[in-house]
Chains A and B, each alone.
Chain A
Amino acid sequence: MKKVYQHLFGGNEGALGLVILAIILAVILPASLDIFRLNLVGKYISYAFVAVGLVLLWGNTGVLSLGQGIFFGLGGYCMAMFLKLEASDPISTKIQSTPGIPDFMDWNQLTHLPALWVPFKSFPFALFAIVALPALLAYILGTAMFKRRVGGVYFAVITQAVALIVSLGIDGNQGYTGGRNGITDLRTLLGWDIRTKSAQYTLYYVAVALLIGCILVGRIVLSTRMGRVLLAMKEREDRVRFSGYDVANFKVFVFCLAAAMSALGGAMFVLQVGFISPSLVGIVPSIEMVIFAAVGGKMSLLGAVYGTLVVNTGKSLFSETFPQLWLFLMGGLFIAVVMFFPNGLAGLWVVVRERLPGLKRRVIRTAVSAATQSAVIPAKLANSEGGE
């Protein structure tokens, strides 16, 4: 039991951190924000899934992927396809030339549902696809590259290229994917209207619960022996290889795990925001998601969530008041995090905590010495007065 406690919650400290996060997300925020802002936070939480995945992939294994948007988008599109099909029943779409298919297909003169879409009529399949398809893609990409020892910068650039390919592919196939407009106007999930206020509250809590679940999964991975191997790979990959571990397999596993988490985030995004578009799949959003993890502290699972919330809140607030200034700030943030705060907010927290006992001690000592000085001097005076 104690071992589980250690592994899952990271001991007393880790458990406390997790509980605090859970309280903030599940109690404090819903109580203090109106539904509009809470819905925004729900959107940020769906980005946080990607950041958590990146903590595992980048912070702990040393593999930087600049294309996590691919998996976020894939998960989102799978969910969107299911929701769109549900919203495109023949009765609602009777104004179209071909009722029963999504509106954008009708505009593109498609006359029947493409074979690719048909399986998404089923919710269990859609759920399965959300996690399985991105993981499969990650497996293919990962195996091809890690087995050939492609790493570091090369890998990052190739993930960028793949992100570009996927977003161009979506753009260019309007009839099948909705193209640049994305898939919009999603209304109900299995008959439940996802746009109502109560639905938004429910979806928020579901997202929070799933996120905490992902953090726990991450904790398990990191606290077992695998976690130590991953860290070792990040520091000295060749030594790990010489010790007999198949480095490529570990990397592929983590890559697939991060992909699956990102996809979950994408699905929650679609449920809460109500649409998906290729602008969430390409290079720019993928790199932004990296900065969420970096600001929070790329080694810290909890930090990733805080980082995502902080950066996105800043973005929303600043872009309302100082749209010009915001890009300067964001660029500066990237540079500052890399150069001065490589461990992000989590690193800052660690520094504060370590200095704190020292601070405390110094404060106490100063107070004590001040107090004893005032006691000593009168005593000395008394001694010198009296005596000899």
Chain B
Amino acid sequence: MIILAYSASEIWSILVMQGFAGLSLFSVLLLMALGLAIIFGQMGVVNLAHGEFMALGAYIVYLCSEVVQNHMPSLAPYYFVIAIVVAFLVAGIVGAGVEWGMMRFLYRRPLDTLLATWGLSLIMQQTFRSIFGAREVTPTLPEWLMGSFKPTQNIDIPINGVFVMALSLLLTGGITLFMFKSRTGLHIRATMQNRAMSGAVGINTGLVDRFTFALGCGIAGVAGAAFTTIGSTGPDSGQRYIVDTFLVVVFGGSASLLGTVASAFGIAQGQSISEFFLEGTMGKVATLMGIVAILMLRPQGLFPSKVRV
């Protein structure tokens, strides 16, 4: 696809809308990758079931939507935000359970956690299928989330895109504050840097690990909840996102949230641009190949840990 003969105002509109599409994709990738980055970066544990935790969040929002529709229709415009919080809590609790039952035995064996979490993802997928059916479901979204802003005649900014962006900014900011300003955040960072020492000064590293894992899963739940505004949810939905999410985290370098942010931004813009100029599938392939190529040249990612673990 070659751009020919567009007027100046059209080009400006293209840039604005493409820029927004890129930012929108950025916030989507960021939301997905944030939870994983915390778990992977802080604990070295790889959770291949991360996508299923996102799907869990989405299903929770669907359930809330059904409950509200059937029993409390007056709450319809407000339920969405509450539903997101519920999604966070449920996903976090399930995550804590998974950590207690399975993950805490596997911390020294990262390759084995890959396999075990893949098994978990299969179980979760089948659970969704058995409970909700094979068909995809969508919650009834409140009216204020639909439609778009129209700053000018040619520019349409979808509201749900703005919502997702706001949510991801909020979440990233919140997590950063939490990690660097709170006591628990301090404990988490300490455990990550030197487990033995942290234990020696009295930090309950087991509890910290459980909390960190639950937090990562909770964030995944929020991401899934946010995606209900973009697409439908089925038992296989988690699979759609998992490779992208991992690449964002690996590309960013596992040690820092900043790396995840930068990586999500770079990949989102790259994919947006290549999708505009190339055809759909080839755009994705080009982006993936670009990431893999860069990773081969710089395998530690953009912002790697400065300490050899």
Contact = CB atoms under 8 A, between A and B. Distances in A.
Direct contact of A and B (CB under 8 A): yes
Interface in A304-320: none
Interface in B69-108: 102, 105-106
Interface string A147-187: 01110111011101110110011011000000000000000
Given A334-B118, A335-B119, A162 B281 contact: no
A352 interface: no
B129 interface: yes
Contacts of B112: 338, 342
Instruction: Classify the secondary structure of B's interface with A.
Output: helix
A334 B281 contact: no
A338 B120 CA distance: 12
A153 B284 contact: no
Interface stretch (B5-13, B150-158, B204-212, B291-299): B291-299
Contacts of B125: 327
A238 to B, nearest CB: 10
A255 B271 CA distance: 31
Interface in B261-309: 281-282, 284-285, 288-289, 291-292, 295-296, 299
B130 interface: yes
B58 to A, nearest CB: 19
Contact of A64 (B114, B123, B247, B299): B114
A351 B102 CA distance: 24
A287 B289 CA distance: 21
Interface in B143-173: none
A144 interface: yes
A73 to B, nearest CB: 16
B122 interface: yes
Nearest to A155: B299
Contacts of B285: 165, 168-169, 172
Contacts of B116: 334-335, 338-339
Contacts of A231: none
A357 interface: no
A334 B111 CA distance: 12
A38 to B, nearest CB: 29
A237 to B, nearest CB: 13
Given A149-B299, A291-B115, A327 B292 contact: no
A66 interface: yes
A335 B46 contact: no
Contacts of B123: 327-328, 331-332, 335
A32 interface: no
Contacts of A162: 292
Nearest to A169: B285
B243 interface: yes
B106 A338 contact: yes
A287 B126 contact: no
Given A153-B46, A327-B126, A331-B126, A171 B281 contact: yes
A337 interface: yes
Nearest to B110: A153
Contact of A338 (B40, B115, B243): B115
Contact of A158 (B40, B105, B282, B292): B292
A328 B121 CA distance: 10
A69 to B, nearest CB: 14
Contacts of B299: 145, 148-150, 154
B28 interface: no
A210 interface: no
Contacts of A165: 285, 288-289, 292
Interface in A284-330: 284, 287, 290-291, 294, 324, 327-328, 330
A294 B115 contact: yes
A283 interface: yes
A333 interface: yes
B143 to A, nearest CB: 37
A347 to B, nearest CB: 14
A335 B106 CA distance: 11
Given A165-B285, A172-B281, A331 B119 contact: yes
A342 B109 CA distance: 11
A339 to B, nearest CB: 6
Contacts of A156: 46, 111, 114
A128 B223 CA distance: 48
Interface in A50-71: 58, 62, 64, 66
Which of B118, B121, B285: most chain A Cβ within 10 A?
B118
A96 to B, nearest CB: 26
11 contacts: A64-B114, A144-B296, A156-B114, A165-B285, A165-B292, A287-B115, A327-B123, A333-B119, A335-B123, A338-B106, A339-B106
9 closest A-B pairs by CB: A334-B119, A331-B122, A331-B123, A327-B126, A150-B299, A172-B281, A144-B296, A335-B119, A331-B119
Interface of B: 40, 44, 46, 102, 105-106, 109-116, 118-126, 129-130, 239, 243, 246-247, 250, 281-282, 284-285, 288-289, 291-292, 295-296, 299
Interface of A: 58, 62, 64, 66, 144-145, 148-150, 152-154, 156-158, 160-162, 164-165, 168-169, 171-172, 283-284, 287, 290-291, 294, 324, 327-328, 330-335, 337-339, 342
Given A165-B289, A328-B122, A334-B122, 16 more contacts: A62-B111, A148-B299, A153-B40, A157-B46, A157-B250, A158-B250, A169-B285, A331-B119, A331-B122, A331-B123, A331-B124, A335-B119, A338-B112, A338-B119, A339-B105, A339-B106
